Chain A
């Protein structure tokens, strides 16, 4: 069972992602509500994949990706973006994110993206 770390400053979004991924048999091993916590939780929990919001307090999702990739160059991070954030998504991919999902979330797309990223070789 793949272990997922969910990073988003909105509890609403964390709950929604948790429901989507748990319904497909993933385990949510932790949550983070800002970029600093996301890096700390990654270090502590060593999840198989991270869903990372772009806009978060204290440290942005993009900076959190940089922090995570510095800890583990093979880390699998999927960005959660909104329409209009294409430039930021491109920046996140350059920073080491593997893929992205777009809000509002479509459950099938979320699951498909996570599975695809998990299947990829490092």
Chain B
């Protein structure tokens, strides 16, 4: 299968998904428990993950997977916890936008961002240098 032709489809579809995620995040900013917005961000992250994995864009797969997992936790909780968590979601969106832009503009595979993936996955201790890491606390398993 010639994957090159799917690259353009990926750029177009993920750009649309990211725009929808952006609108949904703005809705979440007004109402932390907006179920439609939460579901939409979850589905868009899931979809981008699947497309990126198919094209072996591992950096995008990693961040979108972590965002999807975080949204699944938020779905289970029923709402975004606070503005801090919302800011993390915006960071995830912005990073995905910049990664897709890298492919669109340079045709190169974007660099990974394991620190952001760790923040999204709620593993703050892995995202910081050892001396700055907070004491490890009990966190739910990341599937």
Q: Smallest CB-CB separation from B50: which chain A residue?
A: A103
Kindly supply a per-residue 1/0 record for chain A positions 1-13, scoring 1 wherever the CB is within 8 Å of any chain B CB and 0 otherwise.
0000000011111
Q: Is the CB of A104 within 8 A of B1?
A: no
For chain B, residues 10 to 68, give those with C-beta under 8 angstroms from any C-beta of chain A: 10, 13, 39-40, 42-43, 46-47, 49-51, 53-54, 56
With a cutoff of 8 Å between Cβ atoms, the chain A residues found around residue B50 in the complex are: 10, 12-13, 82, 103-104
What is the interface residue range for chain B against chain A?
A: 10 to 19
Kindly supply a per-residue 1/0 record for chain A positions 46-81, scoring 1 wherever the CB is within 8 Å of any chain B CB and 0 otherwise.
000000000111000000000000000000000000
Q: Is the CB of B49 within 8 A of A19?
A: no
Provide the main secondary structure of the chain A interface. Answer: mixed
Q: Give Cα A9–Cα B49 distance, bound, in whole angstroms.
A: 13
Interface residues of A (CB under 8 A from B): 9-13, 15-16, 19-20, 55-57, 82, 84, 103-105, 107
Q: Is the CB of A82 within 8 A of B54?
A: no
Q: Is the CB of A10 within 8 A of B51?
A: yes
Minimum distance in angstroms from B93 CB to a CB of chain A: 18
List, sorted by A's number, 8 A–B pairs whose CB atoms are closer than 8 Å.
A12-B54, A15-B9, A16-B1, A16-B6, A55-B46, A82-B49, A82-B50, A104-B53
